[in-house]
Each structure stands twice: as C-alpha cells, then as structure tokens.
C-alpha cells in the first residue's frame, strides 16, 4: 500500500509539472508527456478514479498558484467531485476488463497445455493449406520443427498420391456437404519415412466465413500392421483350406473309389445272401464319399478356382436350396476379374449369410445382387423373413453368434463396409461394399469414409 501511495505521489507531482508547463504554453511536448504519464499509470495498474483525482488536484494547485478567485476554486473542487462520480462506472468496467484478461490468460494456458500434450497431431491450416499451427506431437512424428512446419503447405507434408484425398475432403467441407471429414493418408516425414495417419478435420469460421481448417491426425501404423497381418493370415488360411480341399476331393476321393470297386468285385463272386451284407457297406461308402465332397466344398469350393465367382455362388445357392428349401436367386451383372481375396470373401460372406437366413429369418426367398463399377464391388443379400430389431440385437452382446461379426471381420482387412437394413417383420438386407484397387499402392488414401458411414455401419459386436 505504501508503495502505491509513493508511486501515486510521484505521478501526481509529475502531472502537476506537466499541467503547469502546458498551461504555460509548451504545447504538443507537454501533451506527449501527459500521454507517456498515462501509459505509466496503466502499467502501474492505476484506476480511472485515481487518474481523475490526479488531474483534479493538479487543477486545484494550478488555480491557486494563479490566484484565481475563491469562487472559481470552489467551482473546480465541486466539479472534480462530480467528475469522479461520473467515472466510477468506468472504473468498474476497467477492473472487469482486467479480470477478464487474467481469466483469459489462464484458460489460454490450459488450452495450450492440452494442445501441446496431446498424443495426436493437432494442427490448423489456412484455406490455401499453409500451416498456421502445429503441436509437439506433430513435430515429433514429422521430424520437422515448428518453424519449418509453419513455412510448409499441407500438400508437401503428405505423400504425393494422397494430396488429392485431402483436397477432396476440403471441397466436401467447403461445399457444406459435410461438416467434418475423416480420411486416411500417408505423411512423409523429414527423413523420408511414410507414416499412415487417420485425419479428422473441420472448418474454422470467423464471423460465419470459413478461414481455415483445424485437424487432428492420429498415427495408425499399428492398426495398419494389424490389418496387414490379418490379411496375411486370411490368405494363408485360404491356401491351406484349398490344399486340404484338393486332397479330400482328389486323393481321398480316388482312394475311396478304388475301395468301392474292390468291394464290388468281391461281391460279384459271392453268393446272394453274403452279397446283401456287403451292399450295406457300399451304401455306407456312398455316404462317406458324399461327406468328403461336402467337407471339401465347405473348406474351399473347387468351383471358385475352376469356374469363377458367379458359377461358384450359384452352385452354393443350389446346395442351400436343396438342403433347406430356401429359394435363392442370384442376379449378377458382368464382373471383371476380381482379386482372389475378394472372391473368397464374397463367397464366404454369402455362405455365412445364407446360413444365417436359414437358421433365423424364417424366410422363403433370398435375392442376391452383385454389381461392380470402377471403384467398388457391391453385393446385396435380401430376404423376406421376419427381420429383427437392429439396435436391440446390437446391444445384446451375450447372445452374439459368429454370423454378422464374421462378415465384418472378413471385410475389415479389405477395407469393405457392411450396412444392414432391417426391422421386425420387414425382412433383412445386407449391403456389402468392397473398394477395388487397380494399382499396387497401399490402401491408405481411401475415400469416402464419411462420419455418417462410420456411425451407421459400425456395430461390431452384433450378430444374430
């Protein structure tokens, strides 16, 4: 308090001197000194009222030194009081401003900490893609320091073939089609490594006009490796299944046929009563052969290798119809050559779906549609059964069979999606989409993966 009084004292003397000079006619120089004095007063956190008081006292001194009449001095005294009263609301506002500033500093520091300590890259760019901010995670993952990043454009941060994806995402947001976008791309680090990122972005607005983009990018290297491993495992499983299926179909089948012939030969040489007993064995052998064929087919449809996807699917459908009485119609537009993993996946998915339908749906008909464009292959499987309550089934994890979960797991490594349209009494339709890649580039840089698609399709723990 003593300190404040002293500072006030010295300011007060200085103000008196300046006022004296100014009234003496020093003009602009005195005004400039008054301004500097005001700045110092602000820096020393003097209030509006204290300044008014300073002026008032200096005014009185000046009046006295000029031997003004008593009435004049009384008038100045009263006017000063009035002036101070009228300034008190300004004092309140002035102090409120100081408090708000302090609060802003604290919340700003908190936000900064959150931004800097995030594990994901947090960044902003202007509408031309020039970086305007990036956090420590961004420096760490990219290898560039902050100043380098701030002189870079987003496109030089990203693998060349993925620039287009980011560009497209920005257009989608600017056109108002989507509020935020989510996509994958590869970043190229300072030392030339590629890091797969999942990027979530939205527009930054100032006064309702978009001025930039803010984003959060997550390093998905581990997820990519897991997907790669799953793809590898699936492929190995399919190879193994194909080998065993061939062995069952060809070698075991041949062997069985030779046993069958040998038995028939012996039978022809035996008297009728004994021959009847051997016939029981040949019936059993027929059953074993049928079982082997069935098993071989379940493991890996030889049809798929020998005739292609559509005939194999038709064969599968016929088998199901024969066993269960379900009428299955397959409607396929001409398909180009598909990568073997996609063919196998589609075959398995139909197999799984038809099993589901025959077990649970109480349906009479199933319609399978298969069509392809340059970017995707789509398959829809619709039945006229009893349908089900999708949200209820989604939350009922205790009852989770392997059906739909298995379909999703097959689609995941291929980047495919499953959406389900159903309601009690309305039948069920599964819509499956698998992206086609005609080049050998990695599957990052994929589009579209809008948030909408994510929410309606993601129900991983759900099965009938």
- 364 contacts other proteins (rule: CB under 8 A): no
State both tokens at 124: 């902003």
Q: Which is nearer to other proteins, 87 or 342 (CB)?
A: 87
Tell me which stretch binds other proteins (CB under 8 A): 49-57, 216-224, 244-252, 352-360. Answer: 49-57
In whole angstroms, how close is the CB of 77 to other proteins at the nearest point? 10
Burial of 290 from C-beta contacts in 10 A (0-12 / 13-18 / 19+): exposed
Residue 107 beta carbon to other proteins: minimum distance, rounded to whole angstroms? 14
Determine the Cα angle at 413 with ends 408 and 415, to 5°.
80
The label of the residue with tokens 């194999």 reads 312
Instruction: Report the distance separating Cα 85 and Cα 308, nearest Å.
Output: 94
Residue closer to other proteins (CB basis): 84 or 332? 84
In this chain, which stretch among 80-88, 185-193, 260-268, 326-334 interacts with other proteins, using CB under 8 A?
Answer: 80-88
DSSP character string of 312-366: HHHHHHHHHHHHH--EEEEEE-------HHHHHHHHHHHHHHHHHIIIII--SEE
- Considering beta carbons, is residue 54 or 216 the nearer one to other proteins? 54
CB 446, CB 183: distance < 8 Å: yes
50 is an interface residue for other proteins by CB under 8 A: yes
Alpha-carbon distance of 133 to 213, in angstroms, equals: 11
Q: By CB under 8 A, name the one of 65, 88, 101, 291 that touches other proteins.
A: 88
Q: Identify which of residues 54 and 430 has a Cβ nearer to other proteins in the complex.
A: 54
Q: Which residues pair with 212 in a beta bridge?
A: 126, 204
String marking each residue 1-40 x if it binds other proteins according to CB under 8 A: x---------------------------------------
- By CB under 8 A, tell whether 232 contacts other proteins: no
The site string for other proteins over 90-129 (x = CB under 8 A, - otherwise) reads: -xxx-xxx-xx-----------------------------
Please, what is the minimum distance in Å from the beta carbon of residue 383 to other proteins? 56
Radius of gyration, CA atoms only, the chain: 41
Comparing CB distances to other proteins, the nearer of 51 and 330 is 51
Sign of CA dihedral 126, 129, 131, 134: positive
The CA–CA distances, whole Å, from 255 to 243, 244, 248, 282, 284 equal: 17, 15, 10, 14, 15
Rounded to a whole number of angstroms, the minimum distance from the CB of residue 12 to other proteins is: 13
Q: How far is the CB of 108 from other proteins (least distance, A)?
A: 17
Query: Which of 397, 402, 403, 448 minimizes the C-alpha distance to 428?
Result: 403
Separation between Cα atoms, residue 428 and residue 463, nearest integer Å: 13
1 vs 272, beta carbon nearer other proteins:
1
Which CB sits closer to other proteins, 66 or 95? Answer: 95
**Contact residues for other proteins (CB under 8 A)?**
1, 49-50, 53, 81, 84-85, 87-89, 91-93, 95-97, 99-100
């Amino acid at each position: 308090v003593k300190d404040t009084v002293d500072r006030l004292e010295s300011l007060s003397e200085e103000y008196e001197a300046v006022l004296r000079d100014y009234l003496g006619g020093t003009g602009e120089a005195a005004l400039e000194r008054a301004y500097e004095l005001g700045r110092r007063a602000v820096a020393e956190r003097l209030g509006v009222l204290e300044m008014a008081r300073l002026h008032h006292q200096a005014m009185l001194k000046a009046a006295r030194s000029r031997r003004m009449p008593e009435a004049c001095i009384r008038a100045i005294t009263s006017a000063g009081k009035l002036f101070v009263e009228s300034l008190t609301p300004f004092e309140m506002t002035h102090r409120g401003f100081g408090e708000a500033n302090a609060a802003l500093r604290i919340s700003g520091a908190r936000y900064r900490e959150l931004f800097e300590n995030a594990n994901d890259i947090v960044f902003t760019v202007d509408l031309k893609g020039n970086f305007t901010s990036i956090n420590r995670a961004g420096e760490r993952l990219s290898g560039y320091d902050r100043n380098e990043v701030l002189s870079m454009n987003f496109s030089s941060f990203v693998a060349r073939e993925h620039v287009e994806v980011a560009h497209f995402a920005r257009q989608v947001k600017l056109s108002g089609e989507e509020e935020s976008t989510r996509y994958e791309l590869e970043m190229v680090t300072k030392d030339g490594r590629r890091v797969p990122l999942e990027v979530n972005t939205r527009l930054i607005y100032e006064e309702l006009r978009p001025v930039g983009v803010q984003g959060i990018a997550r390093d998905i290297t581990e997820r990519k490796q897991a997907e790669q491993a799953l793809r590898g495992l699936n492929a190995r499983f399919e190879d193994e299944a194909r080998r065993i299926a061939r062995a069952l179909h060809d070698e075991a089948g041949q062997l069985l046929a030779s046993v069958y012939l040998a038995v028939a030969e012996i039978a022809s040489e035996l008297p009728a009563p004994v021959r009847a007993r051997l016939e029981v064995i040949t019936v059993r052998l027929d059953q074993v052969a049928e079982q082997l064929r069935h098993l071989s087919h379940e493991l890996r449809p030889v049809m798929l290798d020998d005739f292609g996807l559509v005939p194999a699917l038709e064969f599968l459908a016929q088998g199901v119809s024969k066993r269960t009485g379900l009428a299955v119609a397959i409607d396929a537009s001409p398909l180009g050559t598909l990568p073997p993993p996609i063919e196998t996946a589609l075959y398995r998915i139909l197999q799984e779906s038809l099993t589901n339908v025959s077990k649970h749906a109480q349906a009479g008909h199933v319609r399978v549609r298969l069509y392809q464009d340059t970017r995707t292959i789509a398959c829809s499987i619709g039945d006229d059964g009893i349908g089900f309550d999708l949200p209820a089934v989604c939350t009922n994890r205790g009852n989770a069979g392997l059906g739909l979960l298995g379909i999703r797991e097959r689609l995941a490594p291929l980047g495919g999606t499953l959406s389900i349209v159903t309601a009690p009494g309305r039948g069920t339709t599964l819509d499956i989409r698998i992206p086609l890649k005609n080049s050998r580039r990695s599957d990052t840089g994929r589009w579209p993966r809008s948030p909408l698609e994510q929410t309606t399709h993601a129900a991983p723990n759900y099965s009938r």
